[in-house]
Structure 1
Amino acid sequence: MSALAAFSALYLCWGMKTLPKERWQIAAAVPLHKGGDGSWAGINLTWYGILTANAYLVASSLALVLMGAAGIALWAVIAVVVLLLAFCVPASSLVARIVEKKQNTFTVGGAVFVGTLLAPWIIVLVNQIPLGDRGVGVPPLPALAAISIAYAFGEGLGRLACVSFGCCYGKPLSACHPRVARIFAPIALTFTGKTKKIAYASSLDGIKVLPVQGATYLLYCAAGLVSTLLYLRAQYSAAFLLALCVTQGWRVISEFFRDDHRGIGRFSAYQVMGLVSICYGFWVVRHFRGDPSTLPELAQGFASLWSPAPLLLLQLLWVVIFIYTGLSRVTAATMSFHVNAEKV
């Protein structure tokens, strides 16, 4: 736990200091087509994709460890995680198209809403499939708690991807109440680079804005840590509800501090999704009532992770998420190449 907390803190400090800079949006560019003037048109590979893939990797690994610690069979765990991601990853684009009317953007909020609705029933479905669990099945509340904790850490870490791309940004300090502006002035973010979303969508590059991404990171990781402590004490319902209520409650509140387009209306569709998710979570706990009394064994969870199948699947997941989110659709590159004659 202390190692996880230390890593989260160091990762946040590095990200908030480094990623708003123009240098940290594009990680690489790949030439595709040569033009008549000898230059090449290329596609950009973004740090957004790298950092998002990192977040998915950490979240999925944590879900595997926690569910394995609760005694859930490895293949049942993998089935739950794979099915959940199969719905949530496409939903991140589909919901954004519906709500924001944009073809080339992603929304974690929409993906999480879909995942929250489907997760209990994916577990029910997996319990109907023989997956080497000797008929024990997946206990719903421990699995849901593990998923919620993994999500809290995953989205928290994933907020650094938003800092890199300049999206999900807060309001400028000049538009905030003077007291709010004074409080956040020392840690306000200033983005540079005309290809960042904050620049081309709101012309706020070079202007201090509320560090909404950093606040989300800090709050979500803190909720994840406390929920993990509850989980390790077999308080699965409390762990699930704490992670869910903090993350979705902050989603509702944080929307009021953001300056990017969130759809039509003062109360956005994402805020409605957050409130519905909280209410749905309480119903789920009531429906699947009763926490198993057996304490999780972390050693067993790590042992289930440290085998070829989950490690290879996690590597594949990282590659797929990087390609899906890291190939930039809203930026382009023009490149030229030459020989350094003095070094020949």
Structure 2
Amino acid sequence: MPNRNRTRGLTATAAAFSLALLAAACSNQATSGSTAKATDGALPGSCTKGKPVLGVALPNTVNPYYVAMRQSFIDNGAKNGFDVKVAIANDSDSTQLSQINSFVQQGVCAVALNAVNSGPGAASVAALNQAKIPVFSVNVIISPDDLKTQNASIVQYVGADQTEGGKAMGEQLLKDKGATAKIQAGIVGDPDQIPTNQRDAGFKAALKPNTSAKVGPTVNSKVDPNVSLQVTTDMLQGNPGINVIFADTGPGTVGALQAISQLGKTGKVTLYGFCAADTALTATYKACAAQEPADYARIVVENVKKYVGGSKVPAQVLQPLKIFTKGTPGPGEVG
């Protein structure tokens, strides 16, 4: 994303994905179940140095989400005795793979990978596997199908419980408008990615009890506020009956809010979404779900330390989201 501020992955249902992720995360490891142990395989020699290098691969630092995550990796890495090297891919899959290969050449102890995209991210995992460098994925889910194709595996995935975040927004919508209210909703999303599709699935599932609720078009914001403004404008102009928008990323929320205002739809269309940075809830922007990227980075760092020290770590860590219905989410509480 030169301006594509992402929180991304590929399509899959929440239930099917959960099973597939656990299988992929545990494949090619000597342990069974939902934990992995460092002593089951060789670790890079650099892990035994006084201050091992932890490589961190991030998509961009345009999105406030990744700004918070980057700083947390640096701060928590230092607290846990790591020399943290951060690589920013500027939203390019090829650049990120090149940066991963650089980590391999440097002989880093472990890598925390927030892939630019889920599918191409599997190639980065495979390159690290070949060098016997353990991979901890964060925020962006690496496609289980692509991991299988690459015969690759991660040690652990850390991120938000995406489906529950979308579900919470749908439930709040019904609470605000009524269990039988007539709802025609449009989604400002990213249909090519796993986490955003999980959010959408949770939102749709929450609305199912209301037979008067319909979820119509989904437009691709590409996790960019400028793109979101354009596609939301087009969606609202082409579907004048829409009275609710669900935006499944923070940048998508920013653009959707602008579109509602510019089209004079304030009071006619309400927005539920994942939290936009530094944006207060209003009568139009009714509720949002916030991730905590700094906390995800902390968890990754602490589990890398455990893993390279010979302890078991869970294959998946899903964190609850914070739900806001008033006020302004704090720094680092973003979608």
Scaled by the length of structure 2, the TM-score of the pair is 0.26
Give 1 or 2: higher helix fraction: 1
Question: 1 or 2 for the larger relative contact order (CA 8 Å, sep ≥6)?
Answer: 1
Scaled by the length of structure 1, the TM-score of the pair is 0.26
Give 1 or 2: higher strand fraction: 2
Larger Rg: 1
